[in-house]
Amino acid sequence: MPWTRIAAATQLQDDEVIPVALGDAQLALYRSAGEFHVTDNVCTHQYALLSDGYVEDGCIECPLHQARFDLRTGAALCAPATQPIRVYPVRVEGDDVLVDV
């Protein structure tokens, strides 16, 4: 899929996350330390929505069982999650946040 606009950069402040539906893909868009990140929106442990979680120090914490994932790599950082989440390329052009899914 080509680069697709998913939000305005001004929609998020630091340490915020919003859900994004793009076709069949359920994504989460994060802003952390001024950088944007996009991952799948579903925790690999028990299918909770990560967009309902907490962004801190470049990580997302799942709201259901507190599993944490690195926003840059998708790596699962603590139990109960053991599988990473998928991350997607993201870029900003002007005020547009674009993702390549």
Specify if 48 maps to a domain: yes
Specify if 32 maps to a domain: yes
- In tens, the pLDDT along 69-96 reads 999 999 999 999 999 999 999 999 999 9
The CATH number that applies at residue 39 is 2.102.10.10
pLDDT at 38: 98
What radius of gyration, in Å, describes the C-alpha atoms of the chain? Answer: 12
Specify if 80 maps to a domain: yes
pLDDT at 76: 98
Q: Is 80 exceeded by the pLDDT of residue 1?
A: no
Please tell me whether the overall predicted TM-score, pTM, comes out greater than 0.85 for this model.
yes
pLDDT at 39: 98
Alpha carbon 56 to chain centroid distance?
12
- In tens, the pLDDT along 22-47 reads 999 999 999 999 999 999 999 999 98
Specify if 99 maps to a domain: no
> 73: burial class by Cβ within 10 Å (0-12, 13-18, 19+)?
middle
Specify if 98 maps to a domain: no
Domain count, the chain: 1
